[in-house]
Amino acid sequence: MAANKSAQQMSIDGDQPPERFIVRESSFGVLDICPPTASIPVINLSLLTSSDLSLSSKEEVQELDKLRLAFSSWGCVQVVNHGISNALLEKVLEISKKFFALPMEEKNRYARAIDNFEGYGGDRIVSEKQVLDWMDRLSLMVFPQDQRKLNYWPKDPKNFGDVLHEYAVKTKLVMDKLLKAMAKSLNVEEDSFAKKFGDRAIMKARFCFYPSCPRPDQVLGLKPHSDRSGLTTILQDTEVEGLHVCKDNQWFGVIPIPYAIFVNLGDQMQILSNGMFKSPLHRVVTNAKTTRRSIAMFNEPEPEEEIGPVHSLIDEKRPRVYKRVKNYANFNFESFQKGQVPLEAMKI
Ligand code: OGA
Ligand code: NI
């Protein structure tokens, strides 16, 4: 039955996408698979170094301005000079390529259980009416390290675990640097955001595989959503476009920059920043000819940490926009189930 086949298998078999994958105009608007190109600001992370704004060079101040404007309009940036070597990025893309190229029965050794997010599988079904994504994924908890479920970590390719670990450590450094720079760009204490993530901040990895699809005009790789994370990084195939971001109710296509890391702001940072920064809607379209791969890393505050707008970002001119909540992941899921937009439900 097609419903249980992976998107990859359907693509290989040349199947027409089953009914449940077809995007109806009413649910997401017309599917324009080739929107205008997004001019997403490119941030040179190596310029953002001083711990005190008063010590910043002119170049750094300009870069901080760019960062603030980018996250308050687009909600995303492309980061270059991030300190992660091209060699490591290539290895990350390579382990993803090798994993998804394994025979189906081999990948299914890591199959996700129905009620769990971790492991290999397709779109997680939460409602009858859900339009399904033309995408297979492997999701793994990476930090805190004691929460790893190693039975889901592929043993083939052999270096999978080492490469993912190294990439996660380096990604965390990039994110921490960005969190500090973001705080500085708003003129608040530099650890205002970073300290909310806590020592046991969560880092999840999601290896995304979007096989070619015969109906890119009707089927999405990943439906429009905002990330519930604090920050998300996306490492994408350099040659294949597919990621779109929404700004002012219009979709824009992201052109990948080789070896740059795309950073997307998630709901929890919109809350922490009292709405100064935006968690944008984004989606992935399919492509009739080519497979696309990406690796998303989601960094979230530890669930026990109550999150709400940072105090120094609340004043008479800008009153508190959001409530405080513990475990935003649960809140997000529950609001979603009730048919609410989680960020709206968080408003005071
Ligand atoms: C995600 C996501 C985009 C991509 O996994 O949340 O938005 O390019 N991925 O795969
Ligand atoms: Ni996303």
pLDDT tens digit sequence for 215-261: 999 999 999 999 999 999 999 988 899 999 999 999 999 999 999 99
Probe target for ligand 1 pocket from 222, 223, 237, with the most ligand atoms within 8 Å of CB: 222
Q: Does residue 293 sit within a domain?
A: yes
Share of residues in the chain with pLDDT > 70 (%): 97
Q: Coil, strand or helix: which one is 4? A: helix
| 271, amino acid identity | I
Q: Does residue 244 sit within a domain?
A: yes
Residue 78 Cβ inside 6 Å of ligand 1? The answer reads no
Q: Does residue 81 sit within a domain?
A: yes
* Closest approach atom of ligand 1 to CA 137: 5
Residue 282 Cβ inside 6 Å of ligand 1? The answer reads yes
The enclosing domain of 175 has a CATH number of 2.60.120.330
Range of the domain at 267: 21-345
Q: Does residue 336 sit within a domain?
A: yes
User: Alpha carbon 205 to chain centroid distance?
Assistant: 9
- 268 CA to centre of ligand 2 in angstroms: 13
* Averaged pLDDT, 121-126: 88
Helices (H), the chain: 7-13, 25-28, 58-73, 86-101, 104-107, 160-185, 194-197, 267-272, 328-337, 342-345
Nearest ligand to the C-alpha of residue 234? 1
Per-residue confidence (pLDDT) for residue 336, from 0 to 100:
81
* Closest approach atom of ligand 1 to CA 227: 6
Residue 294 Cβ inside 6 Å of ligand 1? The answer reads yes
Q: 163 or 333: which carries more pLDDT confidence?
A: 163
Probe target for ligand 1 pocket from 137, 282, 291, 297, with the most ligand atoms within 8 Å of CB: 282
* Averaged pLDDT, 87-91: 98
Q: Does residue 2 sit within a domain?
A: no
Nearest residue (CA) to ligand 1, atom 5: 296
Residue 234 Cβ inside 6 Å of ligand 1? The answer reads yes
Q: Does residue 133 sit within a domain?
A: yes
- Show the tokens assigned to 218: 């009707």
Label residue 69 by pLDDT band (50, 70, 90).
very high
CB-based burial, 67-95: b 16+ in 10 Å, e otherwise: bbebbbebbbbbbeebebeeeebebbbeb
- 253 CA to centre of ligand 2 in angstroms: 14
The closest of 102, 134, 115, 110 to 6, measured between CA atoms, is 134
Per-residue confidence (pLDDT) for residue 33, from 0 to 100:
84
Q: Does residue 10 sit within a domain?
A: no
Q: How many domains does the chain have?
A: 1
Q: Which residues surround ligand 2, an ion (CB under 5 A)?
A: 227
- Using CA atoms, how far apart are residues 237 and 97, in angstroms rounded to an integer? 10
Per-residue confidence (pLDDT) for residue 1, from 0 to 100:
40
Q: Does residue 225 sit within a domain?
A: yes
Q: What is the pTM of this model?
A: 0.96
Residue 296 Cβ inside 6 Å of ligand 1? The answer reads yes
Helix (H) or strand (E) holding 223: strand 220-225
